């Protein structure tokens, strides 16, 4: 008879402990149960501290009873647990008008506050473990809020009566549509057509490879600055966040002020690009667009702008270039801009709750099977960071109130997601988020060069947003602590999108702080010492950028003999969508359609374009 190995689990002679751990991870990939169980164990291991917390909680129960009695007797009563300033769930007067609904509101808010506070004060856990457990505790309380259910939401019942039941009927119709779409949709997508009413700035695709199309925009001025501007958009979403409509277009804003603009339009990768590496986005992506802009304009240098993940890659590219061009005067990029971009991932904000060794390993296995990470899955993770405003708000207003979401272009862009190739994304999560190696000198070797951000000496204009939950501004500020060039740091009000897509308007909607930042500077002290200025940071950036981009010259043509026009903007990669979970494209092959638009004399350059898998099979 075979002996049971010593490492076998006592639950079964055939199962190893690792098998049970793998099962738990498959059932709970983000460790929700493990995080909350760790909190429970820690409190039971400290009975005296637990008793003190329960005593404090009993005081809140007494306060709740007094609040209820005062409201019942018609006396004014202060909230035991007032909602946070950004919590609009209970803003309707119906929640405070009658004592019954006010009691439900206060009981929920008090229990939520005390429970989450108790998680944050758990003994013997690290700060990261407390934050992780508190996030999931808040997620559970957000899901069971009385506002989310018809019979505990007075506003929903009032609308039901006033509409004769139509609010629920319309809500049910929207529920069915969302079930079919597999998502709680935030926006009515029907009014938007890319290239028709968004991403409409005239231009042309002047380069295409397997990862990106390069768009060059038509000049809007008779004279332009000699040095072109290259915009490296994030490949997590589509590029047209930089060109939503004429009033909010950063692209058009630059064109109107005499700059030649190139944009990277990244491909929505099919499954057969699973092996594309992180460094391929540098060599075939950022380096390709810089080379294209220099080739067409004849300028030896460009000004490069990187947004979000595009900015992280641009930082790596700058360090990579400084290795290859040790003389500053030989650098293809003499100055650069970062928009809401992380370099130091030691404190990446609330997104850390999704990222530990176990969850990244499980996610990597999932991506290895598929070849990619679905963009919708990443969108859902980011929405969970602001679940009340990005998930439950739409559940309540659509399904309980019967309201149709307004057609907002920013939200449409947010839902127009792209896939992440498996090899690239696994490397990105592990080496940058988990190991934080980007800020460690020479810890990463990318495209043959050790990466050291300290080698970067070119002037930098860095922008972040005060309420950014994806790239927290205190984390992005650390770029000033790692590069060795002069840094002008700008902090805008608002969040990751609206703090950046922030055109000048009258009266001003937002404000910003701006000033030099250097090694050793503390973000809090920098902000306190600065002066808040009303309005958009865009004019401040143009004032910084214009003198660095050279004299005014005649604008270059669209494309060149070496970089011919392949298609009109916004190109074809931005239009490509994939059926969820499949490799089937929902549109015709973008490469072939783009080539059909080019002239017969240019068709012989077909080898410069990478056809999709269907085209390759035909050949």
Q: Residue 196 burial (CB < 10 Å; 0-12/13-18/19+)?
A: exposed
50: three-class secondary structure by DSSP: helix
How far apart CA 557 and CA 41 sit, in angstroms, is: 68
Catalytic member of 221, 308, 549, 612? 308
198: tokens are 């968004």
**Cβ pair 90, 105 in contact under 8 A:** yes
**Cβ pair 64, 106 in contact under 8 A:** yes
Alpha helices in 243-344 (DSSP H): 250-256, 280-281, 287-297, 309-324
How far apart CA 460 and CA 336 sit, in angstroms, is: 5
How far apart CA 133 and CA 139 sit, in angstroms, is: 10
The CA-based angle 420-435-369, given to 5 degrees, is: 35
Q: What is the DSSP letter of 283?
A: I
**Cβ pair 303, 227 in contact under 8 A:** yes
**Cβ pair 214, 207 in contact under 8 A:** yes
In angstroms, what CA-CA distances link 11 with 1, 26, 28, 34, 258?
A: 19, 19, 20, 19, 72
For the chain, the residue count is 619
**Cβ pair 372, 269 in contact under 8 A:** yes
354: tokens are 């999704």
Q: Which residue has the tokens 């004399």?
A: 601
Alpha helices in 403-521 (DSSP H): 409-415, 422-427, 473-476, 479-482
In the residue annotation, 308 being an active-site residue is answered as yes
HEC-encoded secondary structure of 550-590: CCEECCCCCCCCCCCCCEECCCCHHHCCECCCCCCECCCCH
Q: What is the DSSP string of 5-18?
A: PTTB-TT-TT-BHH
In angstroms, what CA-CA distances link 186 with 163, 181, 397, 405, 579?
A: 23, 12, 10, 6, 20
Q: What is the DSSP letter of 214?
A: E
Q: What is the DSSP letter of 257?
A: T
The CA-based angle 238-243-245, given to 5 degrees, is: 125
593: tokens are 């359609």
CA 169 to mean position of chain CA atoms: 34
Q: What is the DSSP string of 62-112?
A: HHHHHHHHHHHTT-----SSPPPTT--TT-STHHHHSHHHHHHHHHHHHHH
194: three-class secondary structure by DSSP: strand
How far apart CA 395 and CA 387 sit, in angstroms, is: 11
How far apart CA 551 and CA 557 sit, in angstroms, is: 18
Q: Which residue has the tokens 């990261």?
A: 128
Catalytic residues: 308
């Amino acid at each position: 008879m075979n002996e049971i190995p010593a490492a076998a689990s006592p639950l079964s002679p055939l199962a190893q402990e690792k098998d049970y751990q793998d099962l738990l991870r498959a059932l709970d990939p983000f460790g929700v149960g493990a995080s909350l169980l760790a909190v429970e164990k820690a409190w039971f291991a400290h009975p005296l501290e637990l008793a003190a917390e329960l005593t404090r909680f009993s005081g809140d129960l007494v306060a709740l009873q007094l609040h209820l009695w005062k409201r019942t007797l018609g006396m004014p009563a202060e909230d035991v647990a007032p909602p946070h300033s950004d919590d609009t769930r209970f803003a309707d007067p119906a929640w405070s008008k009658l004592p019954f609904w006010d009691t439900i509101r206060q009981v929920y808010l008090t229990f939520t506050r005390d429970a989450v506070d108790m998680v944050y004060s758990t003994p013997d856990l690290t700060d990261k473990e407390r934050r992780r457990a508190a996030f999931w505790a808040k997620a559970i309380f957000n899901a069971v809020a009385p506002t989310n259910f018809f019979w505990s939401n007075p506003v929903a019942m009032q609308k039901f009566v006033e509409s004769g039941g139509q609010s629920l009927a319309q809500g049910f119709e929207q529920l069915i549509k969302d079930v079919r779409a597999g998502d709680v949709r935030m926006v009515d997508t029907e009014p938007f057509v890319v290239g028709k009413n968004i991403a409409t700035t005239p231009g042309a695709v002047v380069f295409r490879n397997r990862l990106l199309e390069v768009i060059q925009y038509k000049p809007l001025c008779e004279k332009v600055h000699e040095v072109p501007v290259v915009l490296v958009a994030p490949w997590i979403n589509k590029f047209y966040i930089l060109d939503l409509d004429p009033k909010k277009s950063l692209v058009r804003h630059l064109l109107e002020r005499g700059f030649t603009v190139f944009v990277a339009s990244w491909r929505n990768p099919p499954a057969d690009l699973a092996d594309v590496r992180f460094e391929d986005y540098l060599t075939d992506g950022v380096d390709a667009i810089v080379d294209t802009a220099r080739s067409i304009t004849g300028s030896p240098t460009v000004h490069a702008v990187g947004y979000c993940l595009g900015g992280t890659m641009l930082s790596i590219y700058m360090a990579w270039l400084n290795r290859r061009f040790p003389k500053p005067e030989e650098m293809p990029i003499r100055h650069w801009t970062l928009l809401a971009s992380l370099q130091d991932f030691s404190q990446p904000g609330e997104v850390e709750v999704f990222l530990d060794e176990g969850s990244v390993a499980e996610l990597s296995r999932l991506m290895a099977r598929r070849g990619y990470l679905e963009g919708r899955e990443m969108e859902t993770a980011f929405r969970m960071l602001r679940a009340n405003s990005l998930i439950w708000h739409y559940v309540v207003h659509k399904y309980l109130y019967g309201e149709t979401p307004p057609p907002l272009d920013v939200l449409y862009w947010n839902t127009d997601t792209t896939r992440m190739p498996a090899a690239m994304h696994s490397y990105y999560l592990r080496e940058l988020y988990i190991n934080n190696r980007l800020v460690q000198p020479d810890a990463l070797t990318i495209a043959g060069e050790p990466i050291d951000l300290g080698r970067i000496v070119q002037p930098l204009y860095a922008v972040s947003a005060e309420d950014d939950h994806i790239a927290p501004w205190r984390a992005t500020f650390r770029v000033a602590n790692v590069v060795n060039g002069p840094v002008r740091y700008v902090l805008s009000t608002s969040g990751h999108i609206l703090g950046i897509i922030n055109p000048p308007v009258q009266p001003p909607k937002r404000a910003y702080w701006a000033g030099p930042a250097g090694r050793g500077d503390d973000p809090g002290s920098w902000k306190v010492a600065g002066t808040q200025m009303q309005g958009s940071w865009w004019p401040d950036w143009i004032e910084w950028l214009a003198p660095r981009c050279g004299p005014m010259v005649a604008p270059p043509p669209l494309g060149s003999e070496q970089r011919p026009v392949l298609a009109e903007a916004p190109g074809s990669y931005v239009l490509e969508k994939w059926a969820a979970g499949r490799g089937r494209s929902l549109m015709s092959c973008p490469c072939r359609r783009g080539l059909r638009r080019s002239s017969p004399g240019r068709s012989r350059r077909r080898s410069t374009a990478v056809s999709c898998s269907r085209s390759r099979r035909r050949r």
